[in-house]
A and B are shown apart, each in its own frame.
Chain A
């Protein structure tokens, strides 16, 4: 029972901290895009393309974390009950 609780806490930390990191990263990224677009409007399309690249890099690790959390909840936890 204690192990089950630890599995749920680990999953919550994986999802929560992953979401927090992505939120901070996207906040910074979006803010910089607005700043860059305001300074140099002609560069806006290029900045948007680069933001797409950075967004892919940014959210990959949290997404893998979410996948591992789902594995812990739906594949590991039922075996501990």
Chain B
């Protein structure tokens, strides 16, 4: 298993890492038993995600996909962020080893979880817009 240069760059120099104080929405996916948790904070102004940050417990790929996902949605409208697929995150990182694909799925879900939280805080039911966020998809472990 070898990581691409981009994965190593985002792992070694993660973008948008850390807690956010004045967030509009925060979402957390994954679980400690599986060995990865991603927490994504978003700040929304109008319909635009003006700021985003993450905190991740996990492997190199988990940290790199979190970092790349934040870069891909920063400054974008919510509708666009919701269209971000795990595949797009992987492609932006020049690929991931097959066993690490689930990390990119987690990144996609973390964005959706943060947006859902944002809508809930606005008194809007997120389900019709964001859809259901499957618990621990791809991982298949028994918790």
Our verdict on whether A and B bind, yes or no, reads no
Binding site for B on A (CB under 8 A): none
Binding site for A on B (CB under 8 A): none
